[in-house]
Amino acid sequence: MPGEGRQDITMKYLVESPHTKEECLKELDGIAAEGSDVLGKFNWACKSGEHTGYAILEAKDEEAARSFVPEGVRGKARVHPVNTFTSMDIEQLHRA
């Protein structure tokens, strides 16, 4: 059937979840509550004073990627679609 399986198509997103020092533990608890697999996808700059979590996630769309961020700080999250390039991709870009 045409389109069957399309809901399984995912893209990669860079998710940035900035939060304040005061929100930090709540943010960490919220991500940890999602399970160790989700917690393991995030890297944190909090110890350096920049209270932001970073993750590369696979999701069906931007909204689904944003849903990994705890609701209390979700509105501040930035979600960027990202991709990788091969050497061949770069060569083709030079020719375009």
Please provide the DSSP assignment of 32-43 as one string: HHT-HHHHTTEE
Q: Residue ranges of the alpha helices (H) in the chain?
A: 24-33, 36-39, 62-66, 71-74, 87-95
Listed as ranges, residues in the chain with pLDDT below 50 are: 1-3, 5
Q: Is residue 27 classed exposed, middle or buried when 0-12, 13-18 and 19+ CB atoms within 10 A define those classes?
A: buried
CATH number of the domain located at residue range(s) 10-95 in this protein: 3.30.70
C-alpha–C-alpha distance, residues 54 and 26, integer Å? 16
Which pLDDT score is estimated for 8? 73
The pTM of this model reads 0.82
